Structure 1
Amino acid sequence: MKTKINILSPGRFHVLDLARELDKNGFDVKFYSFVPTKRAMRFGLPKHCSASIFVLMLPFLALCRIFNRSQQIKRLRINVQDYITAWIMRKSDVVIAMSGDFVYAPRRAKKKGALVIYERGSKHILEQKRVMESIPSNKGVKPIPDVNVKRELESYVIADYIAIASKHVYESFMIHNYPKEKLFVNPYGVELSDFYPDMTRQRNYDVIMIGGWSYRKGCDLIIEAINRTGYSFLHVGGLVDMEFPKMPNFTHHGIVDQKELINYYHQAKVFVLPSREEGLAMVQAQAVACNLPVVGSKDSGAEDLKRFVEQPDNIIIVEEFTAEAVVHALHEAMEQYDKLGLTIYAGTAKEQLTWSSYGKRYTDFLKKILKHENTLNRPDGRVE
C-alpha cells in the first residue's frame, strides 16, 4: 500500500513542485490549497493530486483582496484555511505543511498518527524577526506580529521534522538550540526546461536582480554599488518599500509570469541578490541554470548552490552587508563572465538542481524516517 501524504499550503509555492515530484516517486499525494485545480495542473500537478479548497476559501480571499493591508483579515484567512483543511483532509501517514499557516490541522493529524513535517522557507522566526526589525522603514512597527511569532514557535514544537533549504537557515535554528536531528536541509529545484543558457542573445544589461525591490533584499546596497561601478542594471519584480532610481543606467520592469523570466535573464551578464534575509531564493538557481554568474549574500542561500555546479567560482558570496562588498563581488562576477565564453559553468552537475533531484532527496528522507518510525512502533524493534 502506498504511503499517504497530505501537503498543506495556502498557495502554490515550492510545495506544489514537491507534491508533483512525490507523486512521481510513488507516494499517494494530496495537495490541499486554495490554488484552483486547473491552475495547479498548469504547473504539472496531476489532477488526482489536487484537493483544492478554492471555492470554500473564495469569500475570505475576496476580503483579503479588498482589505489588502489588514493584518486581521489576513489572520482570519489563515485561521479559516487551517480549520477547514483540518476537517476535510483525509487520514494520512505524513502531513507536510507550510509553517506559519497551519497549526490546528497538523496537530489534529498528529493525534491520528501522522508524522508532521513543516516547510520553513526562512530563518528561525526569532532570527527573521531580528533582521526584519533592523530595517529602517520598519522602525517603530512590528513587521512580524507577535501572533505570527507565537504561531510559528508553536509549529516548531508540533513538528516531528522541519524541512529547510539552506545552511544559513540551519544555523539560525542552531542559535536557538533546536534539535538538529529534526532538521532536513534540501535546496529547492529549478525547471531546466524553463531556464537554460542562450549564448546567442545580446546582453543589454550588465547586472540583473529579480524579486521584490526592498531593503530586506539588499536593494539599497545594489543602488550604491551600481552607482559606484557605472554598470547598467535591470530589475524585474514589484516595488516593495524602496523607490526605484530614476537614472539612465537603472531599468525597472514589473512582475512577469515565471515562464517569461528567461527572456530577462538572457539580457544580462550577472545576477545579484545581497539579501539580508531569505531561505534559499529560487531566482538564484534560475540564474545558475541560465549560466549567469551569481552574486549572493551569505543569507541568500547562494552558498548552498555551489555544490550543484562544476565551477563554483562563478557563485560569489557577499559576506558583509556593505556597498563595498557588493562592488567587489560584482567586479569578480564580471571577470568570471568574461572568462566563461561558451562554457556552461554548472556542467552536468546542474542535474542536481532540478525539481526531480529535489524530489528524490525528499523521497530518500521520507523512506528513512518512515523506516525509523516503523522500527520504533514494533515491539521487537524490527522493520516489517
Structure 2
Amino acid sequence: MRITVSTIARFHSFDLAAQLQARGHLAAVFTGYPRRKLLDTGVDPALIRSFPWVQTPYMALLRYGLLPSRAEREMAHLAHRTLDGHVARTLPDCDLVSVLSGAGVATGKAARRRGIAYVCDRGSAHIRTQDRLLAEEFDRVGLPWRGIDPRVIERELEEYDLADRITVPSGAVRDSFVAQGVAPGKLAVVPYGVDLGLFRRVAPRAPEFRILFVGGLSVRKGLHDLFAAVRLAGIPGARLVLAGGGLPETARLLAAAGVPFDWLGSLSWSDLVREFSAAAAFVLPSIEDGFGLVVSQAMACGCPVIVSRNVGAADLVQEGVTGFVVPIRSPEVIADRLVRLHRDTDLWAGLSAAAVGRVRHIGGWRDYGDRSCAVFRETIEAPGHRLPGPAGGAERCGAE
C-alpha cells in the first residue's frame, strides 16, 4: 500500500512518515515547514513536499510577537487553507492519505473523487469538546476567551464527516468524539510512541524534591492548578521547574503563581532528558490534552507522573503503580500525591521502576507504525472506504 501524509507543521506526523518509509509505504509527506527544518526527521528529502509560503512566515512572526491577535487568526486560517488546497491539487497516486486535522477538507474531497481513502488524524479532543472545556476554564481563572475560530470548527466538522476513518491517540479523545455522536466504529485509537533510545534515565534524581512541568505555560495545560497544588503541598525545600514556551496568558498565570519557580524556557532533547531524570515528580494537570508525549517521555526516564484524566497519556498510567491519575481542576488531590511521593521513598522507587517497564511494554515509534499500518490497511480494504456512522451529528454526514 502507498500512503501520503499531510501536516501543517511537524508534530508526530513525521514520526508516522518515517515509520511508513521504513516499511516502503510512504508516497509523500506534505508540510508547511521549510525542508531545511526537517533534515533530522529521517524521512528521505525527496519524499518531503514542503509548502512553506504561509505557515513558515506565520510561525516566524508569531515567535517574535509581531502578529496582532486578529492578524494571527487570519494568517493561521490562510496557512491551513492554502496547504490543504496545494495537497488536493498535487496529491500523488496512493491508496490512502492521512491528514492532520484542520487542513483536510479539499484534500479529503480530492481523495474521494479519485477513490483514495481519507483518514483524518486528530490529536486533540473533538473540536466542540475542546472549545467548551477551554471556555469553561478561562472563565474559571477569570481570563477572557475568544473561542476557537468558528471557521476552524466548521472545517474540522466537515473533515470528520468526509473521513473514512478518524485516528486518535487516546481513549480520552475517542470518548470525546463518541459523546459528540461519532460512531465508535469510525474511530481508531493509535497511541503515540516514545523514543526509547533517547528517553532514559541519564542521571540520579536531584537531592531536592524537584517538581517538573513541561509544556506550553497555559490555561489549557492547567498551570494554575499546578501552582495551587504546590502551595497546598507545602513541601519544604521543594523546587518547581517549568519547561516550555509562553502563550498570551502566561504572564498573568506566572504573576499569580504564589510559589517560587524556575522557568527554563524551551529545552533541547538532551536537556529535557536531564530534567526528567532529575525530577522527583512530573505533573501535567491539563484541562484538555489529546495525548501529552511528555508523559511517556517522563516515564521512560523513570520519573513518576501525576496527570489529569483529560490527558490522553493517562491510558499509560496504572493508578498507584506507575503514577497517579487525578480529576481535572483538583489541586488538592495533586498536592496529596506530591506529599505521598515526598514522604514515602519506597513508593517513589516503585513507581519509578514500574513507569519504565510500562512504557517499554507499550513500545516505541515502531509499534506506533505497526498499529497505524494495520488501521490504514483495514481502511483501504473497507468496501467503498466508508465505515458506518455519523461524524458528530452534523447534517453533512456522508454527503458529497
- State the TM-score, normalizing by the size of structure 2: 0.84
The residue aligned with 2:333 is 325
Offset at 1:200?
3.1
Match of 1:234 among 241, 257, 260: 241
Alignment pair present for 1:292 and 2:303: yes
Task: Note if contact 1:98-1:118 (Cα within 8 Å) is conserved in structure 2.
Answer: yes
The residue aligned with 2:396 is none
What 5-or-longer segments of structure 2 have no aligned partner?
387-400
Alignment pair present for 1:51 and 2:53: no
Offset at 1:42?
0.4
The one-letter code of the counterpart of 1:323 is: P
Offset at 1:183?
0.3
The residue aligned with 1:381 is none
Moved more, 13-22 or 234-243: 234-243
Alignment pair present for 1:306 and 2:310: no
The residue aligned with 1:256 is 267
| Aligned positions of 1:99-138 closer than 5 A | 99-134=101-136, 135-136=138-139
Task: Note if contact 2:212-2:276 (Cα within 8 Å) is conserved in structure 1.
Answer: yes
Alignment pair present for 1:209 and 2:213: yes
Name the SS of the counterpart of 1:287 in structure 2.
helix
The one-letter code of the counterpart of 2:245 is: G
Task: Note if contact 2:212-2:279 (Cα within 8 Å) is conserved in structure 1.
Answer: yes
CA distance in 1, matches of 2:280, 2:56: 42
Moved more, 9-18 or 314-323: 314-323
- Deviation string for 1:233-283 (max 9, x for gaps)? 100012221332577741111112334311221221110001000100111
The one-letter code of the counterpart of 1:173 is: F
Match of 1:14 among 12, 15, 40: 12
The residue aligned with 2:28 is 30
Moved more, 166-175 or 236-245: 236-245
Over the aligned positions, Cα root-mean-square deviation in angstroms equals 2.6
Name the SS of the counterpart of 1:272 in structure 2.
strand
The residue aligned with 2:177 is 173
Structure ranking higher on relative contact order (CA contacts 8 Å, 6+ apart): 2
What 5-or-longer segments of structure 1 have no aligned partner?
377-384
Q: 1:334 to 1:168 in 2, by over 3 A?
A: farther
Q: 1:312 to 1:45 in 2, by over 3 A?
A: farther
Instruction: Name the % identity.
Output: 26
CA distance in 2, matches of 1:209, 1:250: 11
Offset at 1:126?
0.9
CA distance in 1, matches of 2:353, 2:227: 29
- State the TM-score, normalizing by the size of structure 1: 0.88
Task: Note if contact 2:277-2:302 (Cα within 8 Å) is conserved in structure 1.
Answer: no
Name the SS of the counterpart of 2:132 in structure 1.
helix
- Deviation string for 1:279-334 (max 9, x for gaps)? 00111011011110110000012321137xxx961220012412212112323444
Match of 1:355 among 365, 368, 376: 365
Q: 1:207 to 1:157 in 2, by over 3 A?
A: same
The one-letter code of the counterpart of 1:239 is: G
Name the SS of the counterpart of 2:280 in structure 1.
strand
The one-letter code of the counterpart of 1:196 is: R
- Deviation string for 1:361-382 (max 9, x for gaps)? 1112222233334899xxxxxx
State the aligned residue count.
371
The residue aligned with 1:380 is none
CA distance in 2, matches of 1:224, 1:63: 33
CA distance in 2, matches of 1:139, 1:244: 13
The residue aligned with 1:382 is none
Task: Note if contact 2:165-2:379 (Cα within 8 Å) is conserved in structure 1.
Answer: no
CA distance in 2, matches of 1:351, 1:44: 24
Name the SS of the counterpart of 2:159 in structure 1.
helix
Q: 1:68 to 1:288 in 2, by over 3 A?
A: farther
Match of 2:155 among 133, 151, 168: 151
Q: 1:145 to 1:229 in 2, by over 3 A?
A: same
Offset at 1:205?
4.5
CA distance in 1, matches of 2:122, 2:105: 13
